[in-house]
Structure 1
Amino acid sequence: MRKAVNGIPPFKDKKLHIQNLQFEDVTVRLYQPKVPATKPRKGILFFHGGIGMWGSIDSYERVCRFLARESDSVVVSVGYRLSPEYPYPRQFKDCLVATIHFMKNAEDYGVDPECIVISGDSLGGTFTAAVCQELVKRTDVPKVRAQILLYPFLQAIDFNLPSHQQNRFVPPFFQRIIVEAGVQYLGKSKSVAKELRKGSHIPEDMKMKLRSWISPDVIPKEFKLRGYKPPPPAVFSPEIHQQVKEAFDTIFSPLLADVDIVQQLPEMFILTCEYDVLRDEGLLYKKRLEDEGVPVTWYHLADGFHGAIFSIDMPLLSLSCAKSGVDRVVNFVKGL
């Protein structure tokens, strides 16, 4: 799977200077426009997707080249170490270490330290949200200018949201596959995934506490037109709850962050896709940040699916929805 995701390397890029570096003990790839800049450039950290077990710097080479060229920014693609060789939460820690190193040394790469954007897709979007939440607690680094979340995974509370029901069998990532892979990423047996999908891991008091943040009632009506049926009540299992307690950490479920953290977050661009199991997670996080006064730019791909941007700049395979989505990201960065 890892080899297949990496794909065929693209040709050399005449417009970019590309080099592999180490930020502390984390491998990164730096993309710098060759055209001399009249002032420090914006910096973009990019965390790739892959449910923590696959994906790499190589597999997102085209995405990062596109971002660097089109937004005239310095892009750092973070090669965090993968599970199961490096158990959870090593992946988040690598992203955090690389981010702090870059922010402290941004000027060495021609980047304005006050204009650094953190971004990622899928689980990389999870890392983006979690790193931004962690950095609001710190005073030893500049403030993050903005965050970009592309169809992110953000919560492990409700796997029966409308988008989970509507897109359960939409390729390439069926709902069952995403939940099972997420459980394995946490180092748990995928046998507990079935109970998570039913909701047996959530006690009733937690459901009530989180109802205003994570509930089908929060999803706009237009996203239920393709159908939604409230699931039968799940029987709470203390044993399952204990087995997956890491799923409630905010580095795995950023939607559960405390209000005082959310209020301090940088402005956000969020991309959602109609044919994506995780669509509603983006909608919930969007509303949560807006409710706390955080500026949000939202773009919805009505013809998009999970992993869509992966096809950007691929010969013969590049999709119009990928180009549309990444163009919006570029415009957002340029407008900062």
Structure 2
Amino acid sequence: MKPRWIGAALLAATAAYYVYLPLPAAVSEPWKLMLLDAMFRSCMHVGDMAHALGVCHRVHLINKVVSWVEVIEARSCPAVRVTDSLLGGVPARVFQPIGGKKLKRGVVYFHGGGWALASGRMRSYDLLCRKMAKDLDAVIMSVDYRLAPEAVFPEQYYDALAAARAFLSAEVLQRYGLDPERLCVSGDSAGGNLAAAVAQKLGQDASLVVRFKAQALIYPVLQALDFYTPSYQQNQNVPILYRPVMAQFWLQYLGADPALEPLLLANNHSSLDQVDLCPQIRSKLDWTALLPAERRKHFRPVVKATGSPGVVAAVPALTDVRAAPLLAEEGVLGRTPKAYVMTCEFDVLRDDGLMYARRLRDAGVEVTSEHHEDGFHGCMVFAYLPLRSDVGRRSMDNYIRWLDHNL
């Protein structure tokens, strides 16, 4: 009996060692975040092993696990009809409230996952969109755009654009009883990137009869030229989105050589000798000017005089506004709809969102910037998981409340 107790104690100690991470004291419910991160790290490690052994691509294995655990069938309930359909030729899950007003508000939503992971059919997104449909008396369309590694930029963007155009079409408006004056494009993380890029493109389209009234961006990723913003420096080791993982997602999305990761993480790709990066481009992500002092804190810019010449020329999408919406011209930003930008203190992407909110305001766009001092990346989507967090519930409630008041 004694060896069993010793074995159990050793196993428990090993598990505790694997799960425990030193986290900022102010982060919401740190033990829940540790457990959530341990699950993600386990999936990533197994995926890396499978990839190294040639079994399958790491992303495929992770998505397979996600499918087993999270993806659910379209199930209607007394309050919401749920169906799977196509939107501009792109798969989408549609959430229609039963009853209510004849003309409905509408939201087209793009899920996160580094342009490579997840699905709008995941339980967490299904429950989010179901709640949005019910609470807002709105039709929600959650889009399943193509994913890396099979699809790389600009294919995800083209899927998002096609779905958004279809969402604004007379055919879809009539079929689902949508109010053409009360439509929103939204998304989280990589989905927030797609939502911002779509809002910019359609804002410039003079042929559109119906336009989005609002854009709602949840901890969006918006640039890949500076991996030393204050939030990248402060939160590089804070789960669930680590700094190297974001660099990997970017390279995968842009169809670039993964061996470039160390160059990105050193900011060698944005060094002063990169002839493709003019001062005008650099000014659009100059966080020393765009961020308030309380976010800049004690951090200093990392700008190399010399780096790795030709990286931007080899990966031109690094400066393509369809991939990096933060780099858009002020005139383009000024034609986008009023915006909601959610950011979290303990998120490497925090400053992407804060800089974008500032640039939108400077362009004359009405912006609501919602910042969660105890939030972490992905918290809103995790509001419904067994490890649901308080900040997840608060962030979701605030997001839906903004939509209710502004759509």
Query: Partner of 2:295 in structure 1?
Result: 223
- Judge conservation of contact 1:107–1:113 (CA < 8 Å) in 2: no
Inter-partner Cα distance in structure 2 for 1:202 and 1:224 = 20
Shift in alpha-carbon separation, 1:5–1:306, aligned structure 2, 3 A = farther
Amino acid in the other structure paired with 1:31? F
Does 2:91 align with 1:38?
no
Query: Partner of 1:144 in structure 2?
Result: 212
Inter-partner Cα distance in structure 2 for 1:271 and 1:209 = 26
How far 1:212 moved relative to its partner?
3.7
SS in 2 for 1:209: helix
Query: Partner of 1:288 in structure 2?
Result: 359
Inter-partner Cα distance in structure 1 for 2:334 and 2:287 = 23
Two-structure CA RMSD over aligned residues (Å): 1.8
Query: Partner of 1:242 in structure 2?
Result: 313
Does 2:194 align with 1:127?
yes
Amino acid in the other structure paired with 1:91? Q
Query: Partner of 1:322 in structure 2?
Result: 392
Shift in alpha-carbon separation, 1:183–1:134, aligned structure 2, 3 A = same
- Judge conservation of contact 1:49–1:123 (CA < 8 Å) in 2: yes
Q: Aligned to 1:48, which of 106, 111, 114?
A: 111
Query: Partner of 2:84 in structure 1?
Result: 20
Query: Partner of 1:2 in structure 2?
Result: 63
Inter-partner Cα distance in structure 1 for 2:316 and 2:305 = 17
Query: Partner of 2:342 in structure 1?
Result: 271
Q: Aligned to 1:184, which of 229, 238, 252?
A: 252
- Judge conservation of contact 2:152–2:254 (CA < 8 Å) in 1: yes
State the Cα deviation string for residues 289-330 of structure 1 (Å, max 9, x = none): 11111000111111111111121223x322111111111111
Shift in alpha-carbon separation, 1:234–1:15, aligned structure 2, 3 A = farther
> When the two structures are aligned, how many residues end up with a matched partner?
333
Normalization by structure 2: what TM-score?
0.78
Query: Partner of 2:31 in structure 1?
Result: none
State the Cα deviation string for residues 144-183 of structure 1 (Å, max 9, x = none): 1000000000111211100000000111111011111210
Inter-partner Cα distance in structure 2 for 1:111 and 1:232 = 48
- Judge conservation of contact 1:155–1:254 (CA < 8 Å) in 2: yes
Normalization by structure 1: what TM-score?
0.94
How far 1:52 moved relative to its partner?
1.0
Q: Compare the two structures and name the one with the higher helix fraction.
A: 2
Inter-partner Cα distance in structure 2 for 1:158 and 1:67 = 34
Inter-partner Cα distance in structure 2 for 1:184 and 1:126 = 15
Does 2:327 align with 1:256?
yes
Query: Partner of 2:30 in structure 1?
Result: none
Unaligned residue ranges in structure 1 (runs of 5+): none
Does 2:239 align with 1:171?
yes
Query: Partner of 1:108 in structure 2?
Result: 175
Give the share of equivalent positions with the same residue, in percent. Answer: 34
Amino acid in the other structure paired with 1:224? R
Amino acid in the other structure paired with 1:41? K
Inter-partner Cα distance in structure 1 for 2:179 and 2:313 = 44
How far 1:88 moved relative to its partner?
2.1
SS in 2 for 1:113: strand
Query: Partner of 2:140 in structure 1?
Result: 75
SS in 2 for 1:154: coil
- Judge conservation of contact 1:161–1:215 (CA < 8 Å) in 2: no
- Judge conservation of contact 1:181–1:190 (CA < 8 Å) in 2: no
- Judge conservation of contact 1:88–1:185 (CA < 8 Å) in 2: yes
